[in-house]
Amino acid sequence: MDERINLAEKLGLLEAPYRPGIVGYLNDYKLVVVKVHGAFVWHKHDDTDDFFLVLRGHLTIKLRDRNVELDEGELFVVPRGVEHCPEADEEAHVLLIEPRGTRNTGDVGGELTAEEREI
Amino acid sequence: MDERINLAEKLGLLEAPYRPGIVGYLNDYKLVVVKVHGAFVWHKHDDTDDFFLVLRGHLTIKLRDRNVELDEGELFVVPRGVEHCPEADEEAHVLLIEPRGTRNTGDVGGELTAEEREI
């Protein structure tokens, strides 16, 4: 993983929404691409902030008190401990950055929980 | 800084190349945008990897043994301790992610060293 990473190419390797793939690392952080389509699950990460950058499409990050609407080239950092639920009416492509070992479904787990895997 | 961040808008606030601006934070990391034009300075960071994502244009990251060529939507993580020199023949726009306090000119310092500032 010591060469350039083309994010669109990596996203083309993903089979389905909410099946994230690790494309690289920054110190103890993983760089992850994911397709978002439909609603994810409400969850939070008590130990870390959560970085979202929209690469394609439109992403809504639902918070308990408001929605954050992100278009391509826009990012949002969900503060640690804040419940959120990503959602996209049409498929959106997103770059996530989180500490290695961070579970995609945070404190709730469940059927959308994904194994960490490199692509 | 708890709202969405439009990277193109933030880049529009930068006066000149190599005058980085902090647009947000992810835990102990700063999220930085910078315009690159011309050659920067050879340097390294002994304590951290260095994340580059090209948002617009083309960026060359010169390493001692090769060049890494990045177009829009491509990223590269320079491993800690590796000397590198960013360069762009035409203005390129870049997102950097580094631990807070990381000096842009790494181990060498000099006139291109920039104060940390939020924009």
pLDDT by residue for chain B (119 residues), tens digit each?
A: 458 999 999 999 999 999 999 999 999 999 999 999 999 999 999 999 999 999 999 999 999 999 999 999 999 999 999 999 999 999 999 999 999 999 899 988 888 898 899 99
User: Best of B25, B77, B84, B97 to disrupt the A interface by mutation (most A CBs within 10 Å)?
Assistant: B77
What mean pLDDT is predicted for residues A48-68? 97
Closest CA relative to residue B60, chosen from B80, B48, B78:
B78
Asked if the Cβ–Cβ distance from B25 to A75 is below 8 Å, we say no
pLDDT value at residue B1: 43
pLDDT value at residue A83: 97
Q: What is the DSSP letter of A7?
A: H
Which is more confidently placed, A105 or A37? Answer: A37
Q: Where are the beta strands (DSSP E) in chain B?
A: 5-6, 21-26, 29-39, 50-56, 59-63, 67-70, 74-78, 84-99
Q: Tell me the whole-structure pTM to 2 decimals.
A: 0.95
Q: Which two tokens stand for residue A91?
A: 């498929």
Compute the mean pLDDT over every residue in chain A, rounded to the nearest whole number.
Answer: 95
pLDDT value at residue B115: 87
Closest CA relative to residue B23, chosen from B94, B78, B112, B106:
B94
Distance (Å, rounded) from C-alpha B34 to C-alpha B15? 10
User: Nearest CA of chain A to the CA of B114: how many Å?
Assistant: 22
Q: State whether residue B42 sits within 8 Å of chain A by CB.
A: no
Distance (Å, rounded) from C-alpha A35 to C-alpha A93? 5
pLDDT value at residue B112: 87
Distance (Å, rounded) from C-alpha B30 to C-alpha B115? 13
pLDDT value at residue A1: 43
Q: Which two tokens stand for residue B17?
A: 């190349």
Residue carrying structure tokens 């304590």: B47
For residues B85 and B43, the answer to whether their CB atoms sit within 8 Å is yes
